[in-house]
Amino acid sequence: MNPILSAAQRAFDETQFYETLYSSRPTCLNEIPFINHANYHQAQGILDCITDRSEVSGALAAYRRNVRKFPFNIVESESEQQHRHKRLIHALSGLGINSNIAANFLLITDDAGGPFAGELATCLAWEHHQASICFLHGSDEQLLKDINCYNPEYVLNVANCTPETYLKELDQNIITIHHVDHRVPDRKNLLLACDEIGVFAGRKNPNDPFFYDNENLLIETNPHSHLPAITTTNFGISPFIRYSPTQTIIDFDA
C-alpha cells in the first residue's frame, strides 16, 4: 500500500482530528487533502490530534519561543523523538559530518531560540559529540571572541539575527539552521527546520535540492500551491499527513 495512504488511514482510525477532516476513511490518494496549520484550528485541543495520551514523553520546542503558527504545543512519543534525532543526523551526514567521529559543535542562538538550540545540543550529545551553546550578547566583536574561546569544529547558527559578515571571518565550518517560514537564503551548508518536526532536511550548496531522511518522512509538492507537504509515515502519536509547514516554494529531492 502507498505509505501516505497507509498513514492517512491510521491517522483517521486513531485521531479525532483526522476523522473529522476526512469524514470517511480514505481509500486512495485523491481523498487525502493537503492541509496546513489553519486546519488545526478546527480541533478542540491537542488531544484531538494525537493517538494516545499515555505515550506522550515530551514536547518539541518551537524554533522561536512563543512564535508558532500551529495552535497547540507539539507533543511527541519516544519513537517520534528517535525519528527527529535520525532526521537531524541524516541532514548533518549529507553535509559531510560523520556521526561515528566525535566532533566539537558550538550552537549560536539568543534567548528566543534557546529551547530549540537545547534540543539540538541534546541530539548531538546522543551521538557523543561535544555541543555547547553560546547566547548572543554584546557586540559582534564579543561574539567572535566567544566563538574563538570554544574553538569548535562546527558552528551551528540557530539565530536569525547572527551577523553573517562576522561569521565569514571564522575558520570553522558554518552551518545555518533556517526556519521554513522565511525565504531560503543562498547559503552553503543549510539545514531546514519547522516547528512541527524540527530539523528535517539539508543541502550543501545553494543550487542543490534539499535532501531528507525518507525512512520516516515523505515530502510531496502540492500540485495546486506548489508548496512542499510533509507526511510522517511512521508517526508515533502525532501524525502529519500532507501537511504544508511553509508558504515558501522549496525544491526537494524526489
**0.75 surpassed by pTM:** yes
DSSP notation for 35-68: B-GGGGGGSSSGGGG-S-GGG--EEEPPSBTTB-
- Write phi, then psi, for 96 (nearest 5 degrees): 95, 15
**pLDDT of 165 strictly over 80:** no
Domains of the chain, start order = 1-51 (no CATH), 55-214 (3.40.50.2300)
Residue 94 DSSP code = H
Looking at the chain, the whole-number percentage of residues with pLDDT higher than 90 is 76
Report residue 168's pLDDT band, with 50, 70 and 90 as the boundaries.
low
Indicate the pLDDT class of residue 140, thresholds 50, 70 and 90.
confident
In this predicted structure, what is the pLDDT of residue 137? 77
pLDDT score, position 170: 62
The count of C-alpha atoms lying within 13 angstroms of the C-alpha of 169, restricted to the half-sphere facing its C-beta, is 10
Q: Please compute, for residue 38, the number of CA atoms within 13 A of its CA located in the half-sphere on the CB side.
A: 4
Average of per-residue pLDDT across 5-33: 97
| Per-residue pLDDT tens over the stretch 196-233 | 999 999 999 999 999 999 998 999 999 999 999 999 99
pLDDT of residue 166: 56
Dihedral angle over CA of 177, 179, 185, 188, nearest 10: 20
Q: Which pLDDT score, from 0 to 100, does residue 171 have?
A: 54
* All three cell numbers of 9: 488511514
